[in-house]
Structure 1
Amino acid sequence: MYRKEFFVFDQDKPVPVVIRNYEEKDFPDLIRIQQESFPPPFPSELWWNDVQLNNHVTLFPQGALCIEVNGEIAGSMTGLLVDFDPQHPEHSWEAITDNGYIRNHKPNGNTLYVVDIGVRPAFRKLGLGKWLMFSMYDVVVHLGLERLLGGGRMPGYHKHANEKSPEQYIDAVVKGELKDPVITFLLRCGRTPVKVVANYLEDEESNNYGTLMEWKNPFSYSK
């Protein structure tokens, strides 16, 4: 199981944090993270429920991570293993994650797929999302997988949809001409775009698009 203790900084003040696997006792806190991290117009029915969380900790506990700040759970990240074929990348979040229930988890899969990542707004200035992402990279390396992959929301796209295709929007974000709250964050975490997918997730702000973004295991990297 996974546990990492270190410090983050609130301006110049060190703050102790712990990243660990979440457990059943954490479920109420994890649901609270969802509610605070994904307020409307994000659909409330996509917040975690107890059945989904129980599947996370039983089917793939290595992919169920949370981060504590001074003993208080401030964020979480969840994944499952899938067999990903780069030649056929199209899919929806609902299909590849079993709508968050991960009953399709493949123990011998080649890719760790990100189901979800969220940090409570009050803690976002501490950079916790980046640390969660880096910890999931640890899991990729530890399990000898090819990559970490996930679809990033594009919440800034609706502001530019009349003038840019989704691919043009992502290209502008990668070039630094535009900044997207999610895609720019993922770029800062070392993820790179693979493909824009239509009808990826019911998400008004993204016009239902998502951008698949990967991090390749540097110990098994191949073109």
Structure 2
Amino acid sequence: MFKKDLFVFDHTMPVKAVIRNYTKDDFDELIRVQREAFPPPFPEELLWNTEQLKNHITLFPEGALCVEIDGKIAGSITGLIVKLGDNDLKHSWADITDNGYIRNHDCNGNTLYIVDICISPNYRKLGLGKWLLQSMYETVVHLGLDRLLGGGRMPGYHLHSDELSIEEYIEKVLKGELKDPVVSFLLRCTRTPVKPVANYLEDEESLNYGMLMEWRNPFKKENIF
């Protein structure tokens, strides 16, 4: 089981946080956080349901983490293990995560794939998303996996899609000429770009693209895919 005490900062004020595995007792709170993070018109049916959450804690509890502030859940991150090679990167979020049910979890795989990261808006200024990802990096090392991988939205792309291809947009973000709310955040979390994938998820702002970004296990002597 995973449990980590740490301090995050509200401006200059230290705030105690706890990152731990979530359990069945947390389901109502996890769904509450999703509703706060993804309010209408976000479709209700796309929020976590109890069957998905039950699968998370049953099939891969090491990949089901939440963060608490003052005993209240403020966010969560969920992953599964898959086997992926360098030529296996053309996939959708729905296919690679089993629509969030993770019944395709493979304990013999090489890659921890991020299904979802979610922070309640009231707590986003504390940098909790960064620390949840850091905890998943620690899980990659603990399990001896090759890497962490996941697809991020690119909500800034629709503002520039008339004049920039997706590759040109990413290049400008990496040069610091443009800022994308998700890609720039993941870069600050030490994720590195792999490739943009078309038809990754239904998202008008990203024009349905997802940006695959990884974190390689620095303790692995070889990463052969």
TM-score range normalised by the length of the shorter chain: over 0.9
Q: Is residue 84 of structure 2 the alignment partner of residue 69 of structure 1?
A: no
- Please say if residues 41 and 204 of structure 1, whose CA atoms lie closer than 8 Å, have aligned partners that are also in contact: no
Deviations for 1:177-210, whole angstroms, at most 9, x for unmatched residues?
1111110000000001101000000111111100
1:167 maps to which residue? 167
TM-score using structure 1 length: 0.97
1:106 aligned partner: 106
Cα-to-partner distance string for 1:13-35 (whole Å, 9 max, x where unaligned): 11110000000111111111212
- In the alignment, the residues of structure 1 paired with residue 194 and residue 180 of structure 2 have an alpha-carbon distance, to the nearest angstrom, of 16
Tell me the equivalent position of 2:183: 183
CA distance in structure 2 between the partners assigned to 1:158 and 1:41 by the alignment: 19
Kindly state the Cα deviation for residue 221 of structure 1 after the two structures are TM-superposed.
5.4
- 2-side partners of 1:221 and 1:197: how far apart? 28
Please tell me the residue identity of whatever aligns with 1:23: T
| Overall identity of the aligned pairs, in % | 67
Unmatched segments (≥5 aa) in structure 2: none
Assess if the C-alpha contact under 8 Å between 1:42 and 1:203 holds in 2: no
TM-score normalised according to structure 2 size: 0.96
Aligned to 2:32: 32
Query: What's the counterpart of residue 137 of structure 1?
Result: 137
Bigger shift: 170-179 or 96-105? 170-179
Equivalent position of 1:124 in the other structure = 124
**CA–CA separation in structure 2 for the residues paired with 1:86 and 1:42:** 33
Instruction: Quote the RMSD (CA, aligned, Å).
Output: 1.1
Residue number in structure 1 paired with 2:2 = 2
Shift in Å, 1:41: 5.0
Structure 1 runs of 4+ with >2 Å offset: 38-45
What runs of 5+ residues in structure 1 fail to find an aligned partner? none
Number of residue pairs aligned between Structure 1 and Structure 2: 223
Distance 2:221 2:95 in 1: 27
Deviation at 1:47, TM superposition (A): 1.1
Give, as a single letter, the amino acid of the residue that structure 2 aligns with 1:88. Answer: D
Tell me which residue corresponds to 1:79. Answer: 79
SS of match in other structure, 1:75:
strand
CA distance in 2, matches of 1:167, 1:23: 40
Task: Report the 3-state secondary structure (helix = DSSP H, G, I; strand = E; otherwise coil) of the residue aligned with 2:205.
Answer: helix
1:57 maps to a residue whose letter is I
The corresponding residue for 2:202 is 202
**Worse-superposed segment, 6-15 or 130-139:** 6-15
Post-superposition CA distance 1:92-140 (Å, at most 9, x none): 0000000000000001110000000010111011000000000000000
* 1:146 aligned partner: 146
CA distance in 2, matches of 1:38, 1:91: 24
Structure 1 residues 8 and 154, CA, compared in 2 at 3 Å: closer, same or farther? Answer: same
Q: Is the 8 A contact 1:92 1:200 kept in 2?
A: yes
Deviations 1:160-188 (A, max 9, x none): 11111111111111111111111000000
Structure 2 Cα separation of the partners of residues 168 and 147 of structure 1: 26
Could you tell me which residue of structure 2 aligns to residue 157 of structure 1? 157
Counterpart-to-counterpart distance in 2, 1:192 and 1:28: 34
Tell me, yes or no, if the aligned pair for 1:146 and 1:221 is still in contact at 8 Å: no
Q: Counterparts of 2:161 and 2:167 in 1: how far apart (Å)? A: 11
Distance (whole Å) between structure 2 residues aligned to residue 38 and residue 3 of structure 1: 27
**Contact 1:119 / 1:128 at 8 angstroms: preserved in 2?**
yes
